[in-house]
Chain A
């Protein structure tokens, strides 16, 4: 097992808030690595630094041996890092297929193609339909995103990240706001990805996390206090004290 992603001594301040505090994290190729922690622990800040939306104040992030700490955000998907958003972020004025096509087009090289109609991009269209089908949106392909249900939008979020053909998926609370049925559909989807993709999963749903994760890191106040397999985490005193016992 080799580390696909390795984060070391990451620090990020927001004013007086220490959102990442000497944060160390290693994600192995092929594993589903969950990051859990109370609200405000800095999980989304971590994802934002991994995806390049926010730059750390100090520390390094290396992906597949390449230092990406200060690499611009739009360059990282080309390296193989894709993210989803905790708050659904799609292009609402476009259809499911068009959203997916844009994600695929991004991987096909530049889009300074002023003449060829986008509808003629058959490769991207075909692939877009495949990804739609994969997240059970096949029958909703031509629906405008704004008219999808919340659950469908969450699945499209994941499909967009998949469509960018990433080697590392950063999933920021894919279950956020989902009802029980929609949630179980999402968990089924995540199970199919497990083992095939390297995933960093941020999630509040503990049942889902302990079912899905190969390894879990527990984050409190920007610092990772423990990492291990689900059983190990369940029995860890610090974790129980800091997090699981709080309920």
Chain B
């Protein structure tokens, strides 16, 4: 037990402290990289709730990143250029609230349809909905169409300043830890147990008297909202949103992180995101075909490391 806690603590401390140290020593680049890492890891944690714990393989979670980012960008855009007074603001609470609301509603509405089907059909429908969002934003000229939308002003919160890279990073890292804790808590809860039961044998759960559709939908909405939150942070980080963020390849990358790191684990999505960011950074400097070794790595891990990268963390002695 001790060893497991130690390794996990070490991972979290490294994610938080090393980028800050490197930044302090004059390498702000690594702070940027770590900020992006934390934001993507939050989305991966969100996806893991349904993909890992719930066994619902969504291929459309980049849509929520996009919705979250546009929920920051569109109010900021109107605040600067006028129009749409109702949402024109740079207030962070409103923007983040909007991000959660919009992604939650989108998850609810699409979930009502997606969750009626299973397996490959579920994968295809989630992807189709994400592509609809993609083409929607491409078609809206006011928000830049496929050129994307520049966010001139970041979200404004009292006490913290998102324009300060160190503060933005710290917020992202702390948010990540919070979301990891949140999903861990949910997975251990009564709801989490039902979700695991549905993943294991949905028919039996129905026969026991569970309205499995409602439980899956709840998980789907929570998952979407976490990714929407991640998207709002991403918008603040990049200060530029383009529909490309919603492309199905981005959804694939999120799946990659979750599966590489280890599905249905607390640290899996984080480890997957770390590996993804590092490899992308290292490999893309060597070759433009960096996706190839990437794919090989995923195949290797899936075939030879049962339970993904997080299985390499020492196991706790006792289960509870």
Interface residues of A (CB under 8 A from B): 51, 53, 73-78, 82-83, 85, 89-94, 98, 101-103, 105-107, 111-119, 121, 160, 164
Contacts and interface: CB of A to CB of B under 8 A. Distances in A.
B189 A90 contact: no
B168 to A, nearest CB: 29
B200 A111 contact: no
Interface in B111-157: none
Contacts of A111: 190-191, 193-194, 210, 215
Nearest to A79: B209
Given A53-B206, A91-B196, A93-B200, 14 more contacts: A53-B207, A73-B206, A73-B207, A74-B207, A74-B212, A94-B200, A101-B193, A107-B209, A111-B194, A114-B186, A114-B192, A118-B189, A118-B193, A121-B190
A112 to B, nearest CB: 6
Interface string B195-230: 011011101111111111001001000000000000
Nearest to A124: B190
Nearest to B203: A89
17 contacts: A73-B206, A74-B211, A90-B204, A91-B196, A93-B196, A93-B199, A94-B196, A102-B193, A105-B193, A107-B209, A111-B193, A112-B218, A113-B190, A114-B191, A115-B186, A117-B188, A119-B188
A106 B201 CA distance: 15
Given A105-B193, A105-B194, A116-B190, A164 B209 contact: yes
Contacts of A51: 207
Nearest to A170: B207
A114 B186 CA distance: 5
Contacts of B203: 53, 89
Contacts of B197: 91, 94, 102
Nearest to A92: B200
A115 B211 CA distance: 19
A112 B216 CA distance: 11
A31 B197 CA distance: 32
A91 B209 contact: no
A89 B215 CA distance: 20
Contacts of A118: 188-190, 192-193
Contacts of A114: 185-186, 189, 191-192
Contact of B210 (A92, A98, A106): A106
B320 interface: yes
B200 A105 contact: no
Contacts of B188: 117-119
A106 B218 contact: no
Contacts of B200: 91-94
A76 to B, nearest CB: 7
Contacts of A119: 188, 320
A117 B189 CA distance: 4
A26 to B, nearest CB: 24
Contacts of A77: 207-209
A72 to B, nearest CB: 8
B9 to A, nearest CB: 21
In the A-B complex, the 8 residue pairs with the smallest Cβ-Cβ separation, listed nearest first, are A77-B209, A91-B200, A118-B193, A106-B209, A113-B190, A106-B208, A111-B194, A118-B190
Q: Residue among B188, B190, B194, B204 with the most chain A CB within 10 A?
A: B190
A119 B188 CA distance: 8
Nearest to B199: A93
A121 B192 CA distance: 13
A113 B194 CA distance: 10
B218 to A, nearest CB: 6
